[in-house]
């Protein structure tokens, strides 16, 4: 998939009306029809659909989703990291997110919503049109259909976790006269489960060459397991996750430190990564800027940065001697701790080669333990992850409940990987954990919002069509 990112900038410049083109202006951003410029003459060949699906991947990589905002809404929201850029000016909205005081007109919410539905719109167009084309390579048509279903499912999962009750749209929109169908998160999860069941059967187990990094059957099964867990279907989650384990496509890398850095990307543990490529073409990532103070060249918050600091509470979570995962906590020039998973040397701000790992095999092992529930097998799965980190104490002997032990392990394993806030929600402890963490700020359990507000811009654009979340 490296070739995808190298070519993507050129493709987007040539075909701007075909990729990520839902209006962000006064129109209802989530479902506005695509521009008609060139669309009817596009989606005719194998190459057209390659370009279109590459655009959907680019949408995942954008700052609206994995490139920035999901980090703010799912990691900075938690007790792992915090806004390190102050509480005034450009950083005020970030501070509000950390304190559960975000406003419905927050840019971070508007852009995440709009960016997510842009990707959904692009995948809907692919899925609506692909059956009308005679592909030179029929297998490619199946693969692209599977990729589109996976990408749409991944976006819908993130939107449902973030906003809860959201509109569902599964067909290409060609007219502004549409019905807004806001549904519960459970309905969204059910649709994702259906779509991923199809996608898994269409996607290959692996790729080679320039296609490395695309969605695989293992990625579809992993997301399926996560959605089943989120939806309370432990038995079905176990079935999906065992398929990933039994595929023998993945394994833990031998050393935790060998997961990180551009030279270690798309390794044996990687199941799905958002691919980035530096070089001044707009395809690099900003994670080095966000997390690594000494390597930042953006000029701080005023340069568009959203610096992420690790919390003292997170540092205290590394409470076992010999945990190699603590080595991903570095010290900057001033002696302050920071997360160094995303360290990389770069010559242009926000233009790093560092990928973002959405799913890796350690996550499958710990989710499988969660799905199985307290048992010798589940503790063995946890211990497999712990032993890679250098810990030898059996997890079954650790203090706390099985759920406490598992959640604690997930926290240390996946810091900075956008899992902590969804984990707290799924385990049903978000209000307890976050009110304890923010008690010195006067935050009580009732102050901890489990859902973000639906952006005010969307409510205003379609009066009466959407119900706002509790504020």
Answering whether pTM is above 0.75, one says: yes
What is the predicted pLDDT for the residue at 318? 98
pLDDT of residue 278: 94
Using only C-alpha atoms, the chain has a radius of gyration, in whole angstroms, of 21
Average pLDDT over residues 333-343: 94
Query: To 5 degrees, how large is the angle CA 430–CA 164–CA 440?
Result: 30
pLDDT tens, residue by residue, 415-432: 999 999 999 999 999 999
What confidence score (pLDDT) does residue 103 get? 97
pLDDT in tens, 260-313: 999 999 999 999 999 999 999 999 999 999 999 888 887 766 567 899 999 999
pLDDT of residue 38: 56
Mean pLDDT for 348-360 is 95
Question: What is the structure's pLDDT at 470?
Answer: 93
C-beta of residue 339 within 8 angstroms of C-beta of residue 81: yes
pLDDT at 86: 87
pLDDT over threshold 90, residue 25:
no
How confident is the model over 203-262, as pLDDT tens digits?
999 999 999 999 999 999 999 999 999 999 999 999 999 999 999 999 999 999 999 999
- Count the Cβ atoms, other than its own, within 10 Å of residue 304: 15
Buried b or exposed e, range 12-49, using 16+ CB within 10 angstroms: beebeebbbbbebeeebbbbbbbeeeebeebbeebebb
Location of structure tokens 């659909």: 49
- For residue 348, the model assigns a pLDDT of 92
The structural domains of the chain, ordered by start, are: 2-272+359-461 (1.25.40.390), 276-354 (no CATH)
Model confidence at 30: pLDDT above 50: no
Identify the pLDDT of residue 302: 56
Amino acid 5: pLDDT: 43
Q: How confident is the model at residue 89 (pLDDT cuts 50, 70, 90)?
A: confident
Cβ burial, residue 447 (10 Å; 0-12/13-18/19+): middle
**Do the beta carbons of residue 258 and residue 227 sit within 8 Å?**
no
């Amino acid at each position: 998939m490296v070739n995808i990112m190298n070519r993507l900038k050129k493709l987007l410049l040539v075909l701007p009306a075909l990729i990520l083109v839902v209006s962000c202006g006064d129109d209802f951003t989530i479902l506005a029809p695509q521009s008609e410029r060139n669309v009817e003459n596009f989606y005719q060949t194998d190459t057209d659909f390659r370009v279109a699906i590459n655009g959907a991947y680019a949408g995942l990589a954008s700052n609206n989703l994995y490139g920035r905002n999901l980090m703010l809404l799912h990691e900075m929201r938690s007790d792992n990291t915090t806004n390190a850029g102050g509480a005034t000016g450009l950083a005020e909205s970030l501070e509000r997110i950390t304190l559960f005081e975000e406003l419905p007109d927050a840019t971070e919410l508007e852009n995440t919503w709009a960016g997510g539905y842009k990707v959904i719109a692009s995948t809907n167009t692919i899925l609506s049109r692909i059956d009308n084309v005679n592909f030179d390579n029929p297998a490619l048509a199946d693969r692209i259909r599977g990729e589109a279903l996976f990408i749409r499912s991944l976006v819908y999962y993130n939107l449902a976790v973030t906003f809860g009750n959201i509109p569902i749209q599964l067909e290409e929109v060609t007219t502004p006269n549409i019905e807004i169908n806001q549904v519960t998160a459970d309905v969204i999860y059910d649709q994702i489960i259906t779509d991923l069941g199809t996608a898994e059967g269409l996607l290959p187990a692996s790729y080679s060459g320039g296609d490395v990094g695309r969605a695989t059957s293992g990625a579809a099964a992993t997301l399926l397991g996560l959605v089943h867990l989120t939806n309370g279907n432990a038995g079905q989650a176990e079935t999906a996750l065992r398929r990933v384990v039994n595929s023998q496509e993945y394994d833990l890398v031998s050393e935790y430190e060998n997961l990180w850095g551009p030279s270690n990307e798309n390794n044996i543990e990687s199941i799905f990564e958002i691919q980035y490529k530096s070089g001044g073409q707009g395809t690099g990532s900003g994670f080095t800027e966000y997390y690594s103070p000494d390597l930042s060249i953006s000029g701080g918050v005023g340069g568009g940065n959203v610096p992420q600091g690790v919390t003292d509470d997170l540092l205290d979570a590394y409470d076992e001697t010999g945990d190699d995962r603590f080595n991903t906590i570095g010290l900057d020039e001033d002696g302050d701790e920071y997360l160094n998973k995303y360290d990389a040397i770069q010559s242009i701000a926000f233009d790093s080669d560092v990928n973002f790992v959405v799913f890796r095999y350690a996550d499958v092992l710990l989710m499988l333990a969660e799905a199985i529930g307290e048992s010798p097998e589940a503790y063995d799965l946890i211990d497999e992850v712990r032993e890679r980190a250098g810990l030898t104490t059996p997890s079954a002997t650790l203090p706390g409940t099985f759920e406490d032990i598992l959640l604690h392990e997930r926290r240390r394993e996946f810091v900075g990987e956008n899992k902590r806030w969804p984990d707290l929600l799924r385990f049903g402890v978000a209000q307890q954990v976050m009110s304890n963490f923010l008690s010195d700020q006067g935050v009580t359990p009732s102050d901890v919002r489990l859902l973000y507000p639906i952006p005010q811009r969307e409510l205003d654009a379609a009066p009466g069509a959407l119900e706002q979340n509790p504020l």
